[in-house]
Amino acid sequence: MARLTLDADYAKIIAPYTSFVPPVATDAASLRRINDTLIQGTMSLYPGSNGDVTETKLSYTSADGNTITLHRFTPSTSSNGNNNPAIIYVHGGGFVSGSVAGFRKDIVRYASETGHSIFAPAYRLAPEFAFPKPVEDVYAALEFLRDNAAEVKIDPKRIALMGVSAGGGIAAGVALMARDKNFEPAIRKLVLIYPMLDDRTRIGEDHPMYKHLTWTMTNNVIGWEAYLAGAGAGVVGGGDKVSPYAAPARASDVSRLPKTYIDVGGLDLFKDEVLAFGGRLLAASVDVEFHLYPGVPHAWEWIAHSASVTKKAVQNRVWALQDL
């Protein structure tokens, strides 16, 4: 099989950390502890944005009647008018971990650099709140912003849905749900950052990418099992009972989705499923912008925020989000 190599700039930056061996998760609880520790550590390496961004909190009701906190990040450059674009940001964490606080630096960066307000729902996590709760929580945030557009000073016709990793899978599921429910006005843009889309993904230890994985096969199976628990899905990766709102790669029809931006690293476990999903969107006449960054793994930018490949990816995302 072909030999895969790290991006040279990325490899130089991570050299001091190559001896670190992260703990191996055995269940959802341990994966949450490990993930949240790693998120905190890697996010601490990012110096943060120089922009002036204010965080406030709103609340809304999800489908089951529970109250969900919606964090609003408003840049000082945002207009006081009622026609402002809005971005719903869905954080990552493999469905079992992560938080708005953990991803705050990322959110502030995009609010500052785009000049748009970002709304980040504190959606509930598996396994305590398995599918469909996280998707319903984010869909309800979309409904809340539409129904309260005048009060929060946004244009309901200019709402983007942005998701990172597992948040990208949730965002894609919400986009499918919004399409099927004939949600109006339609989502303006879907921005998927190395999204987690397919519970059937599997690679073996003999795969040339295996040694480069930062999100491992073990983590992936644990995350999906926790997320799909109780959803009547049977064995993760098997059967046909998994809802496309949970695993968007399983959707039989991906037409009529919003204009979509997607990116993924060439050494990411999700590479093939993301490539396949992007190809299906194109075949269904969806307007797609796709970026594959060779030589970097899942979530590479947090440990290598100064790498040229990171700067390129972040700029491309900013341009995509500004186009609302």
Q: Which residue has the tokens 């397919």?
A: 198
**Helix axes 104-114 and 308-322, enclosed angle (nearest 10):** 60
Using a pLDDT cut of 70, give the percent of the chain over it.
95
> How far is Cα 249 from Cα 159, in angstroms, rounded to an integer?
23
Structure tokens belonging to residue 26? 């055995």
Average pLDDT, the chain: 94
Alpha carbons 315 and 309: distance in angstroms, whole number: 10
Task: Output the pTM of the full model.
Answer: 0.96
Q: How confident is the model at residue 238 (pLDDT cuts 50, 70, 90)?
A: low
Instruction: Give the model's pLDDT for residue 236.
Output: 56
Three-class SS of residue 156?
A: coil
% of the chain exceeding 90 in pLDDT:
88
pLDDT band at 46 (very low <50, low <70, confident <90, very high): confident
pLDDT greater at residue 78 or residue 230: 78
CA-to-CA distance for 165 and 171, rounded, in angstroms? 10
Biggest alpha carbon distance in the chain?
57
Closest Cα partner for 121 from 200, 50, 39, 63?
63
Provide the pLDDT for residue 234. 45
CA pair distance 208, 176, nearest whole angstrom? 33
Report the sign of the C-alpha dihedral through residues 281, 287, 292, 298, in that order. Answer: negative
Residue 49 pLDDT class (50, 70, 90 cuts)? confident
User: Over the stretch 143-170, which tens digit does the pLDDT of each residue have?
Assistant: 999 999 999 999 999 999 999 999 999 9
> Where residue 233 falls among pLDDT bands split at 50, 70, 90?
very low
pLDDT of residue 45 exceeding 90: no
pLDDT tens digits, one per residue of 272-312? 999 999 999 999 999 999 999 999 999 999 999 999 999 99
How wide is the angle at C-alpha 194 spanned by C-alphas 172 and 118, nearest 5°?
65
* Token pair for 46: 């990012």
Q: Which amino acid is at 258?
A: P
What pLDDT does residue 47 have? 82
The Cα-based distances of 312 to 69, 107, 175, 240 in angstroms read: 32, 17, 26, 38
Backbone angles phi, psi at 61, to 5 degrees: -110, 130
Is the pLDDT assigned to residue 128 strictly greater than 80?
yes
Residue of 84, 66, 220, 221 whose CA lies nearest to 134: 66
- pLDDT higher than 80, residue 12: yes
* Domains of the chain with CATH codes: 8-322 (3.40.50.1820)
What tokens appear for 226 in the block?
Answer: 């926790």
pLDDT 10s digits, 181-193? 999 999 999 999 9
**Per-residue pLDDT tens over the stretch 81-92:** 678 999 999 999
Structure tokens of 175? 């986009």
Amino acid at 3: R
Summarised one tens digit per residue, pLDDT across range 172-222 is: 999 999 999 999 999 999 999 999 999 999 999 999 999 999 999 999 999
Q: What is the mean pLDDT of residues 36-51?
A: 86
For residues 178 and 187, give the distance between their C-alpha atoms in angstroms, rounded to a whole number: 8
232 pLDDT band, cuts 50/70/90, is very low
Estimate to the nearest angstrom the gap between the alpha carbon of 323 and the chain centroid: 19
Distance CA 262, CA 288 (A): 8
60 phi, psi to nearest 5 deg: -150, 170
